[in-house]
Structure 1
Amino acid sequence: MPLLPGCEPMHHEGSEIGVLLCHGFTGSPQSLRPWARYLADQGLTVSLPLLPGHGTCWQDLQLTGWQDWYATVDRELRTLSERCAQVFVCGLSMGGALALRLAARHGDAVTGVTVVNPGITFPRLEGLALPVARHLLRSSKGIASDIAKGGSNEVGYERVPLHAAYSLRNFFRLVRTELPQVTQPLLVLRSRVDHVVPPTDSAVVLSSVSSTDVTETVLEHSYHVATLDHDAEQIFADSYGFITRLAARKTARDGA
């Protein structure tokens, strides 16, 4: 199945500071490409993989699960770690959960974490219905392109495959149990208005991690896909400032 336009993965060779970006459920690298390009333009090494089952058609996603998605970003992190002295992980929505699990499991191999509207819970009623509903219905209405900015669109699926959604629910449950293992500096950027992920998800992350260097920023003018919305430039600049601050601190500490 050919890729949808704009869904290609991206890799840029730059400095010894590496950044791994993780896109969201039913989305694609397209939603994070401007962010990735911004960081690449600052001279960083950047990896933006395409998660299995994404970027083609929702029927392909139906055949995958969280183990496939996580294995992809885990492999990318290991590759970056071989190339770079420091690696940062970033993610949007489900990509935020992927980034947090990478931080929890890889410890010092991850220098810092940036998440934008991280998904970490599943709507209660839908979650309770999924074990049965996924055998009765193949898909439900899509969640892509929740953007306030006119003329800006996310390339994502118009349908949500329910088998994959069931796997996502199980993944969120797992990640919530691992959040206390996240000790790295954390930057959380969340939209005040989000029609996909409730603001309480960011609150769960902030209250559960063990990080002591934590920053939360509220995005006033964007919806869920904030990386393509009015506050995109703020996300790019804030994350780069976060990365450079931590990279300089770690370099100074290692050289002391």
Structure 2
Amino acid sequence: MRQDVISGRKTAAPELARVEGSKAARVYAELRDAIISMRLRPGERLLEKELCETLGVSRTPLRDAILRLAQERLVTVVPSDATFVNKIVVDTVVEGQIVRESLELRMVALAAEFFDPALAADFELVLFRERKAAERHDNEESFMLDNSFHRLLCECAGFPHVWETIRNATGQLDRVRRQSFPLQDFHMQVLEEHQAIFEAIAGRDPDAAVRILKTHLNGNLRSLRVLLDRQPDLVELDPRSAAATLIPAT
């Protein structure tokens, strides 16, 4: 397996610098990003020996990383065989959406209530970089900055670690979000919605912030519908499930 498949370009693992510096954490961040971005595609077989050679680590940190990915339901480990990248499972996507809505709508209300003007420059920098990435149609950078904006919301609310809780519960949802940029040319829409959310929290208007963020997050399920329509081979859907009833119609 080529190193560039795992790591992509030099900025392909946007969360890497924020993860603890252990080998297992580094391997987890690189593999997770490769799965989210579809450089490692559903059904792809991950061989332990090959991954160890590619990533320059022993089996112990690799196995620790694979265990974390399995807990996020991004991979399936088949004993005495290999690890396989999972399809995008609709039930798990919607589950992640529910977790994210529940936590982040609370965060944005608190962010508006307790807005710290000292964070305004951080928001403005992210929004500036988002605009530049949108103008370039840079999918990797846009997705990274999307995460940076939402992480800032949690920080502004006074609960920065809530973002990690959200992230750990939304691996499958992140794959849908990442695909929304190239499939829907989503860059400017995301930027405009982020700008409106920032203006609401800077204006200390919790009701407006919650309303705008709720509409923004609902876009994830619309993106799931687009993915189902355009690339159904990537997605696993049980039409009888409760999750299937929450997906917007075509």
The TM-score, its normalising length taken from structure 2, stands at 0.27
Structure with greater Cα Rg: 2
